[in-house]
Amino acid sequence: MTGPFNPPVRTLMGPGPSDVNPRILEALSRPTIGHLDPAFIGLMDSIKELLQYAFQTQNRLTLPVSAPGSAGMEACFVNLLEPGDTVVVCQNGVFGGRMKENVERCGATAVMVQDDWGKAVDPTKVEEALKANPQAKVLAFVHAETSTGARSDAKTLCALAKQYDCLSIVDTVTSLGGIEVDVDGWGADAIYSGTQKCLSCVPGISPVTFSERAIEVIKARKNKVQSWFLDMDLVMGYWGGESKRAYHHTAPINALYALHESLLILKEEGLQAAWERHDLHHRALAAGLEAMGLSLVVAPEERLPQLNSVSIPDGVDDATVRQQLLANYSLEIGAGLGALAGKVWRIGLMGFACNRKNVLFCLGALDSTLTAMGADINSGVAVNAANKVYG
């Protein structure tokens, strides 16, 4: 490629990134200023306040890590864990497995609590593991499992962590802005998220927040945090609330303009309204898919509205359908991961992409593509079924 790159215009309805609001794209194009400019310091304070609103927390250690959600995950583990620690890790999909990787790379031991992919984490199994491992320092789990579309009961799991004198590490990458995340109400200790899901921002930033209990553990460490870049003691010298900021790294200035704009949009809509919007469009999409004869993997009471895992009909090739949707409709949906690879499609309804137009467009395109392939579905009924939900 010798000329400028002009990306195709897509409708992004996969597991992320999601469609970016034009307001956020405009924010990215604003003039770059220095990362210690007084005007930028003011923006940092505003971002912190808006993140506290989104997370529903008063935690003073609330900030955006200058890297994607995976770095937010690593920041939580490397700051709280030391060699020899024990962590109870819940796995009901791909991302619980990544938590295990982080635990082991910190020199700690992971005690795994396994649940079937597509099901929520079972609190009874978690309590059994905590009872059997009284030395455990942390309970780690995924609130919204992106690989399956299952939602776990964060409030109950965080309460169990407290009951057994553990810290909690919670993955809210896919949940923040799409379903309730109540950090202070749950009593969660270390929480990380991402910008490219229900916040409809560009990828590359990871909001995190740490409780006072977590800060005490970080301050009492015997060993240095193994990552210099993610050491919260150092990062807080830059992101702390004091007027004088210590240089730590050059923040991604324009990406933070974008994050600020996305958080403003969330606050303008209101958390409750955003959650209700995701729920409405999810119900319409599910009604259309089921009318077509397709089934959703996750039980209704455990489903994420923003990430829908749909079983692929017998005899239908996963990749061929996704390729045709991209080629004919410029529509992206996601493939299955891990144990669900080749068995499901993951259809995202996240943030700016979560709207009636996209629901009806996706149902129509999927119906048309499957019908043309001779798949065993009920043709021509999905859009009407979704419209009935909309009334």
Instruction: Convert the pLDDT of each residue in 317-364 to its tens digit.
Output: 999 999 999 999 999 999 999 989 999 999 999 999 999 999 999 999
Query: What CA–CA distance (Å, rounded) separates 153 from 186?
Result: 10
CA 283, 284, 287, 290 dihedral sign is negative
Whether residue 5 is predicted with pLDDT greater than 80 in this model: the reply is yes
Nearest to 23 by CA among 251, 252, 257: 257
Which tens digits make up the pLDDT trace of 243-262? 578 889 999 999 999 999 99
pLDDT for residue 241: 60
Whether residue 57 is predicted with pLDDT greater than 70 in this model: the reply is yes
Query: What CA–CA distance (Å, rounded) separates 334 from 95?
Result: 16
CB 80 within 8 A of CB 74: no
Strand pairing class (138-142; 86-91): parallel
Predicted model pTM = 0.97
Model confidence at 237, pLDDT cuts 50, 70, 90, reads confident
pLDDT for residue 149: 97
* 243 contacts: CB under 8 Å, gap ≥ 6: none
Query: What CA–CA distance (Å, rounded) separates 68 from 202?
Result: 10
pLDDT for residue 245: 83
Average pLDDT of the chain to the nearest whole number: 96
Q: Which two tokens stand for residue 348?
A: 């995202």
Helix/strand/coil for 362: helix
Give the mean pLDDT of 139-165: 98
Whether residue 84 is predicted with pLDDT greater than 70 in this model: the reply is yes
Q: Where are the beta strands (DSSP E) in the chain?
A: 11-12, 61-65, 86-91, 109-114, 138-142, 144-145, 150-151, 167-171, 190-192, 206-210, 307-311, 331-332, 334-335, 344-348
* 197 contacts: CB under 8 Å, gap ≥ 6: 16, 17, 18, 146, 173, 174, 176, 177, 178, 306, 348, 350, 351
Residue 341 amino acid letter: A
Whether residue 1 is predicted with pLDDT greater than 80 in this model: the reply is no
**Integer-rounded Cα radius of gyration of the chain:** 21
Q: Which two tokens stand for residue 122?
A: 């079972």
Which tens digits make up the pLDDT trace of 284-293? 999 999 999 9
Tell me what percent of the residues of the chain surpass a pLDDT of 90.
Answer: 96
Model confidence at 175, pLDDT cuts 50, 70, 90, reads very high
* 59 contacts: CB under 8 Å, gap ≥ 6: 52, 183, 184, 209, 210, 211, 212
Domains of the chain (ranges; CATH) run 21-268 (3.40.640.10), 271-390 (3.90.1150.10)
Cα–chain center distance at 170: 11
Query: What CA–CA distance (Å, rounded) separates 62 from 119?
Result: 30
